[in-house]
């Protein structure tokens, strides 16, 4: 059953962080650092087509996704550590008009990098869409 992203989760996810995607392979979990965005309540990730992430998702759609703010001091106590873990089901989706890729590129790249932006948008890429089943946040700046 799909879970909604909470306001606390959305606040953390809205930062310009690199996420960690965990997929399952025959040998066990595989981790990858990824750029992401939020689209229609799901996490979306753009990856070069044919990568291990794609193959793993097609073989077993169960994934976990993590974003944390480790090392970002939000308080005077030095306990600036909060994050969100999302478990869910991933699916591969087409992006023929590059709408999702543009969303992700705009989030991470400045307009002064047009050559790299073009490479990210125009290259053959797959979109992984994660529908959350479970959303868990933690916030040590608040002691929890």
Structural domain contains residue 86: yes
Structural domain contains residue 129: yes
User: Could you report the per-residue pLDDT of 1-19, keeping only the tens digit for each?
Assistant: 689 999 999 999 999 999 9
Token readout for 101 is 């890729």
pLDDT recorded at residue 79: 61
Structural domain contains residue 94: yes
Write the CA distances from 51 to 43, 44, 82, 103, integer angstroms: 18, 16, 30, 21
Structural domain contains residue 28: yes
The boundaries of the domain holding residue 70 are: 7-142
Structural domain contains residue 25: yes
pLDDT recorded at residue 111: 72
| CATH code, 112 | 2.30.110.10
- Which pTM value belongs to this model? 0.87
Number of domains in the chain: 1
Interatomic CA distance for residues 102 and 110, integer angstroms: 12
Write the CA distances from 20 to 45, 123, 125, 142, integer angstroms: 11, 22, 18, 24
User: Could you report the per-residue pLDDT of 32-90, keeping only the tens digit for each?
Assistant: 999 999 999 999 999 888 889 999 999 999 999 999 987 655 555 556 689 999 999 99
Structural domain contains residue 1: no
Structural domain contains residue 132: yes
User: Can you list the alpha helix ranges (DSSP code H) found in 34-97?
Assistant: 52-59
Q: Classify residue 7 by burial, with Cβ atoms within 10 Å: 0-12, 13-18, 19+.
A: exposed
Structural domain contains residue 2: no
């Amino acid at each position: 059953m799909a879970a909604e992203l909470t306001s606390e989760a959305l606040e953390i996810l809205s930062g310009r962080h690199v996420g960690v995607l965990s997929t399952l392979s025959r040998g066990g979990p595989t981790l990858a650092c990824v750029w992401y965005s939020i689209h229609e309540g799901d996490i979306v990730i753009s990856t070069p087509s044919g990568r291990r992430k794609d193959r793993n998702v097609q073989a077993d759609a169960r994934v976990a996704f993590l974003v944390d703010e480790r090392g970002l001091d939000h308080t005077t106590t030095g306990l600036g550590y909060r994050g969100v873990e999302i478990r869910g089901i991933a699916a591969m989706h087409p992006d023929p008009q590059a709408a999702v890729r543009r969303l992700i590129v705009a989030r991470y790249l400045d307009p002064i990098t047009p050559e790299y932006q073009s490479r990210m948008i125009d290259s053959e890429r797959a979109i992984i869409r994660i529908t959350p089943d479970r959303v868990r946040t933690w916030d040590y700046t608040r002691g929890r």
